[in-house]
Amino acid sequence: MVKNKIFIILSTFTAFIFFHGQALKFRDKNFEKAVLENYDLDQNGFIDKEEALKLTRLFIVKKEVTSLEDLGLFQNVKMVMADDNHIPEISVKNLDQLEFFSCTGCKISTFNGENLKKLTSIYLDNNLLEKISLKTIPRIDQLTLSLNKLKFIEVRELKNLKHLNLEHNQLQQLDISGNEALQTLNVGGNKIKETDIKKGMNTDVTIFGTEP
């Protein structure tokens, strides 16, 4: 009986140590290094699950990061700033607490955002974006994609979008007929006339930068 109790106590203690002390595995070593510099709360040289769950703001600017696959380790993150890295492809999915995402100047060519229930702001200026997909992001109201290479973008599903900046891309037409909440649209630096923009019933939007 005593042996059984000792075994149970030791098993419980081992499980506790395993959960609270197991190092998470990162795919991008520079991402891991950046996180360790600022978010290793117990200073033990690695990030465990408990520390990852406590992290709500992630700043990894100018850290030579090449992948954001490790974002999935931080399920409670609300703000991500990953500007001035080199990340050709980005996929951000299933982060239920994420509200703000910025990755400007990162040489991104493809961006995929999906199932981000609380996300309200995306900043992807000054990249090499040619493809972008945004699905199941119901709260987004600010989308900034200036200084990229977009020839097409689908935004009609973004029903709460208020401010859209598409300056200096390669757009020749745009459909905002589903964006009834849209207040401002900037298309300066594109070869696009106001007649090339399908507005539908949205007559209140202020449009900047169309060609004569």
In order along its 212 residues, the chain shows pLDDT tens digits of 544 544 444 344 344 444 456 899 999 999 999 999 999 988 899 999 999 999 999 999 999 999 999 999 999 999 999 999 999 999 999 999 999 999 999 999 999 999 999 999 999 999 999 999 999 999 999 999 999 999 999 999 999 999 999 999 999 999 999 999 999 999 999 999 999 999 988 878 999 999 98
- Contact (Cβ atoms closer than 8 angstroms) between residue 182 and residue 176: yes
Q: Which two tokens stand for residue 64?
A: 């030579």
pLDDT of residue 150: 98
pLDDT of residue 202: 80
pLDDT of residue 21: 63
CA atoms within 13 A on the CB side of 191: 4
pLDDT of residue 164: 98
- Contact (Cβ atoms closer than 8 angstroms) between residue 180 and residue 167: no
Other C-beta atoms within 10 Å of 200: how many?
12
pLDDT of residue 141: 98
pLDDT of residue 119: 98
pLDDT of residue 28: 97
Whole-structure pTM value? 0.88
Gap between the terminal Cα atoms of the chain: 89
Q: Does domain 23-208 have CATH number 3.40.50.620?
A: no
- Contact (Cβ atoms closer than 8 angstroms) between residue 100 and residue 120: yes
Nearest to 189 by CA among 210, 212, 162: 210
pLDDT of residue 41: 86
- Contact (Cβ atoms closer than 8 angstroms) between residue 200 and residue 174: no
